[in-house]
Structure 1
Amino acid sequence: MFDVDREAITGGPVGRVLLLLAAPLVAQNLVYVANALVDTFWLGRVSEDAVAAVGLSLPIQSLLGAAVVVAALGTQILVAQRAGDGDAAGARRVAVTGAAVALAVTGAIAVPVVAYSEELVRLLGADPVLAGTTATYLAIIVAVLPLGAVGDTVENCFTAYGDTRAVLHVSVASVLVNLVAAPVLIFGAGPVPALGVAGAALATAISAVVGLGHVLAYAAGIGRDTFRLTREAVAADRSTAREILRVGLPLGGQRGASELVRVLVVGLVAVAGGAAGVAAYTVGARVATLAVVPALGMQQAAQSMIGQNLGADAPERARRTTVVGTGMVVAAFLALGAVQFLFAGAITDFLAPDLTAAGRSLSASYLRILAASYWALGGTYTLLAGFNGASRTRTSLVADLVKYWGVRFPIAVGSVPATATFGAFGVAVAPGLGWGVEAVFWAVAVSNVVGFCGLGAYFRYTTRRGLFGNAADRASDDGNTEPAGD
């Protein structure tokens, strides 16, 4: 039902093809987020401190995810362009080189983070009660980061070819493993001791290993034949590695810039709102991650569709893909925001029923404030897909620098009490303005709206100046049109 071939991607109805490509990716991302929500769901039945411990580690995990993005998205964009140009051999070379880049970059980062996880957590300003537990959780998760990075890079190759069902299958297998392992390892069962927060991390790590094995089996031709790695392709190529880094590094920088702000914001929340504030921010972050799943799926689909159309020298169709995708996401997110606004309290009770009264009130407030900006948050993803698919990935970096550092962080600083000093990673902000922890929540919403409006204006400007036409010319020059069999 969701099979989409190259002819449809480059010639079928834009809206329909986008939905067909995005549907399995949306489902896959829902499964991925469900995988992440498993921790919050079960640990919310342990204690508020357990939820807060995971919440403190989330921004650090996301910051480290910037390294994963470099290879995974750089590889996807280039594989899509090669596929659109009919260069199967070139696409396979990009895939193998991308996996090698992913392993090397994330491996170099994971080792010191695991070794100094507790010191890293303490730099966030975590209190002694939370620091040790958070560090244990973080170390286990980061230890398997390189394996997850390779898996994500290979999955993105299937997405680039339009086989979005493959990544759904991989994610379903992973989450099923986590659904079974998490409660057993957290609460204990039979000979398995109750490991609490560490058990949640171990379950996530096991599911990542299962996912990697699954996608590599597909790439070897076991069960799938859309994208296949051959022996001839198993050799890293330096020039291809440089091209992947050229495209991927700005996206990694984008992710790093935004996630560093999130790290600092968690420190602000901890000072301004204590454990209740951190728990509320964690609930909001988890729900927002779930909410953006449709936009993220549309972005991934649009990037592949735009890349293939540029490789096929169809720049106008690439532009229309961006515009149509953004309109669809904005409309859907207006409805989604309305639902979250109305049921904020019920969502909080479902995810973390053991929160204190203060934690519950702050969580519901944050969910309502977030809901008002969902339309802008979702639309930003598809606008960025247009620039990324055209290999203009530096635009994503600049857009997030403005959104997070120019808007979100300065407003969030106002949450710190006038009598307190905020410190994280050696950054000190004193005195605060005493606006309270809800200033952080408003900072997130305002930055979402400002980011979308600014990016939309820039997209209109650059398309008038030949954004997609120039990208199509570059894709044709970079691709190797030499015919190659599978």
Structure 2
Amino acid sequence: MLDLSSEEITQGSLTRALVVLATPLLVQNLVQVVQQVVDLFFLGRLSSAAVAAVGLSLPVLALCFALVITLPFVGTQILVSQRVGGEDVSGARRAAATGLGVAVALGVVGGLVLWVGARPLVDLLTRVQPGGANVTALATVYLSVLAVGLPAAAASDAIEAAFVGWGDSRAPLYVSVATVATNLVLDPVLIFGLGPAPALGVEGAALATVAGYVAGFLLAAGLALAGRDGWVYTRATARFEADDLRELFDVGAPIAGQGAVRQVVRVLIVTVAFAAGGTAGLAAYSIGGRVASVAFVPALGLQQAAQSVVGQNLGAAKPDRAERATYLGVGLAAGGLAVIGAVQWLFPVPVATLFAPAFTDRALSLSVSYLEILAYGYPAIGVAYLFEAGFNGARRTRTSLVATLAQFWVVRLPLAAGAGVVLGAGVVAVFWAVTISNLVVAVGLWFYYRREVGDGMLQRASERAST
């Protein structure tokens, strides 16, 4: 049922190709969301300081992942998909090997930087999000241990990207399940000291996460070496070529920058929300962000699937199918998120209390307002993600970077700070700034995609992919 060949992607039903490829990715993204809360679930039974330490570490980890993991992941996926579509199997395998090598190198360098800079980074964050001496010390330990596992996480994701580019989204799902299962089993053992294991607290949570990264990498490497659906790493293709390396950075670096831009602004918006709404406003903003991260999972899975479908069809010299795949993905993502947004808008109180049952009246009221306001922009997020996929699949990843710069730095942050703080409109203005920026980027990407396609963007991308 979930089998999908390259011929089906380039010749069969586009709807089936998108849905079949996206379904395991959707589940994988949900599994990754679970991984983000596993440590918090167990540490919440240890102490509030432990929870605060992990929460304080998340912006640093998100920024680190954007810079270290996103570049080889996106570059590998797009290059592999285009070469598979063009029936250049050896070139696709070579691109996969190049992506893996870059991921390991970036993982080692990033891990060293994170290990050395853990304390300075935490000290910087505590100026934005107050923590206390104990929280600062625990966050430093958590980041220092996770730094050791960064190379394994980066390598695992690069191998998963090769599978997705090939058209196999089940292998990444298996890897994610192995990663989270390992973390889930080891967390209580290492945090609370079950059996012969010592009680390590926050350090134990970090060690369990690293063990999950290693387990995921070992499974990913085993699947790649054993071969799946004709895909296999070989010694003959495990070599670097300057052109492959240049193309990978050319495609992946803008998306890494895009992720970094998002994380930096999100940290700054935290201070704006606090200045505009105090503790209750910040709590409401945090709950809205957590709910949205779950709501956007289908669009993220569909975006990853669309990038492979667009890339393979461009590699197969079928730009018209690549365009149809993009618009089909836009419709599916917008429709799906419209349904999710409608449910959130109709039932904001149950959603808010599910995530924060102990909220005060004001915090709950603001959370409900934010969830309602966010819901208006959900379809726009689906539109933006899938038009970005259309550009990314054509190697126009810089467009996604520019769109995100405009969305976060030109619209969201100035509007939130200006209206919410300077003009005194309060934290509700911050909430509206988020939704308005989502609507603006969706409309902008739609018009720009239409213009660029009309100007021959996909034809040029197809010619470039086949050379």
Q: State whether TM-score is above 0.5.
A: yes
Structure-1 residue corresponding to 2:79: 78
Secondary structure of 1:372's counterpart equals helix
Cα distance, 1:103–1:360 mapped onto 2, change above 3 Å: farther
Structure 1 contact 84–312 (Cα < 8 Å) conserved: yes
Match of 1:127 in 2: 130
- Structure 2 match to 1:152: 157
Shift of 1:271: 4.8
Give, as a single letter, the amino acid of the residue that structure 2 aligns with 1:378.
G
State the 1:395 CA deviation: 0.4
Q: Deviations over 1:273-301 (max 9, x none)?
A: 56655554443333222211111111111
Question: What is the rounded CA distance, in whole Å, between the counterparts of 1:339 and 1:47 in structure 2?
Answer: 34
Map of 1:382 onto structure 2: 386
- Are residue 373 (structure 1) and residue 363 (structure 2) matched? no
Match of 1:289 in 2: 293
In 2, distance between residues paired with 1:184 and 1:361? Answer: 39
Which residue does the alignment assign to 1:96?
Answer: 97
Report whether the alignment pairs 1:310 with 2:305. no
Equivalent pair of 1:158/1:166 in contact (CA under 8 Å): yes
Give 1:33 deviation, angstroms. 1.2
User: 1: CA distance between counterparts of 2:377 and 2:244?
Assistant: 39
SS in 2 for 1:163: coil
List per-residue Cα deviations over 1:298-345 (Å, max 9, x = no partner): 111111111111111000000000000100110110110122233433
Q: Answer whether contact 2:52 2:131 (CA < 8 A) is retained.
A: no
User: Aligned partners of 1:250, 1:234: CA distance in 2, in Å?
Assistant: 25
Partner of 1:206: 211
- Structure 1 residues 232 and 114: CA distance shift in structure 2, 3 A: same
Matched, 1:141 2:146: yes
Check if 1:329 corresponds to 2:333: yes
Amino acid at match of 2:130: D
Secondary structure of the structure 1 residue equivalent to 2:4 = coil
Q: Which amino acid aligns with 1:394?
A: R
Distance 1:40 1:175, change over 3 A: same
Single out whichever of 351-360 and 86-95 deviates more from structure 2: 351-360
Question: What corresponds to 1:116 in structure 2?
Answer: 117
Spell out the pairing of 1:325-364 with structure 2 (5 A cutoff).
Answer: 325-354=329-358, 359-364=363-368
| Deviation of the 1:172 alpha carbon | 1.4
The structure showing larger relative contact order (alpha-carbon pairs under 8 Å, at least 6 residues apart) is 1
Superposition CA RMSD, Å: 2.4
Distance of aligned partners of 1:271 and 1:46 in 2 relative to their CA distance in 1, 3 Å threshold: farther
Q: 1:226 to 1:367 in 2, by over 3 A?
A: farther
SS in 1 for 2:236: helix
2:54 maps to what in 1?
A: 54
Q: Offset of 1:359 from its aligned partner?
A: 4.8
**Per-residue deviation, residues 156-189 of structure 1 (Å, max 9, x unmatched):** 1101111111111111122222222234444443
Stretch of structure 1 that moved more, 47-56 or 198-207: 47-56
Give, in whole Å, the separation in 1 of the partners of 2:38 and 2:277. Answer: 25
The residue that corresponds to 1:448 in the other structure is: 438
Per the alignment, in what secondary structure is the counterpart of residue 466 of structure 2? helix
Instruction: Output the CA distance in 1 between the equivalents of 2:356 and 2:54.
Output: 13
Question: Is the CA contact 1:56–1:278 (under 8 Å) kept in the aligned structure 2?
Answer: no
**Per residue, is there more helix in 1 or in 2?**
2
Distance in 2, Cα, partners of 1:396 & 1:199: 38
The code of the aligned residue for 2:146 comes to I
- Structure 2 vs 1, CA of residues 473 and 385 (structure 1 numbering), >3 Å: closer, same or farther? same
1:57–1:191 Cα change, 3 Å: same
Q: Deviations over 1:94-127 (max 9, x none)?
A: 1111111122223223312222222212223132
Distance 1:194 1:269, change over 3 A: farther
Mapped to 1, the partners of 2:446 and 2:239 lie a distance apart of: 41
Q: In the alignment, is residue 320 of structure 1 matched against residue 318 of structure 2?
A: no
Aligned-partner SS, 1:232: coil
Counterpart for residue 87 of structure 1: 88
Contact kept, 8 Å, 2:420 with 2:430, in 1: the verdict is: no
Q: CA deviation at 1:190?
A: 3.8
Shift of 1:234: 2.0
Which amino acid is 2:440 matched to? V
Give 1:481's aligned residue. Answer: none
Of 390, 397, 400, the match for 1:393: 397
Change in CA separation of 1:385 and 1:449 when aligned onto 2, cut-off 3 Å: same
Letter in 2 for 1:137: Y
**% identical aligned pairs:** 48
- The Cα of 1:402 is off from its aligned counterpart by 0.3
Answer whether contact 1:48 1:354 (CA < 8 A) is retained.
no
CA distance in 1, matches of 2:429, 2:199: 38
Alignment deviations for residues 459-486 of structure 1 (CA, whole Å, 9 cap, x no partner): 1111111111111011111xxxxxxxxx
Paired with 1:64 and 1:339, the residues of 2 have a C-alpha distance of 34
Aligned equivalents of 1:274, 1:197: Cα separation in 2:
28
AA aligned opposite 1:62? A
- In the alignment, which residue of structure 1 is the partner of 2:3? 3
Q: 1:482 aligns to what?
A: none
> Residues 226-249 of structure 1, C-alpha deviation per residue, up to 9 Å, x if partnerless?
421011122222221111011111
Deviates more, 1:326-335 or 1:34-43: 34-43
Q: C-alpha distance in 2, partners of 1:348/1:197?
A: 27
**Deviation (angstroms), 1:394:** 0.9
Q: Which residue of 2 aligns with 1:468?
A: 458
1:246 aligned counterpart, secondary structure: helix
Which amino acid letter does the alignment assign opposite residue 166 of structure 2? Answer: Y
TM-score (norm 1): 0.88
Query: Is 2:72 aligned against 1:34?
Result: no
Mapped to 1, the partners of 2:49 and 2:371 lie a distance apart of 20
**Mind listing any 5+ residue stretches in structure 1 that lack a counterpart?**
418-431, 478-486
Structure 1 75/456 Cα, relative in aligned 2: closer, same or farther at 3 Å? same
State yes or no: 1:179 paired with 2:169.
no
Mark the CA change 1:43 to 1:433 in structure 2 (over 3 Å): closer, same or farther. Answer: farther
Shift of 1:193: 4.8
Contact 1:311/1:472 (CA < 8 Å) preserved in 2? yes
> Does the 8 Å contact 2:123/2:136 carry over to 1?
yes
Amino acid at match of 2:451: Y
**Greater Cα shift, 84-93 or 440-449:** 440-449
Per-residue deviation, 1:195: 4.3
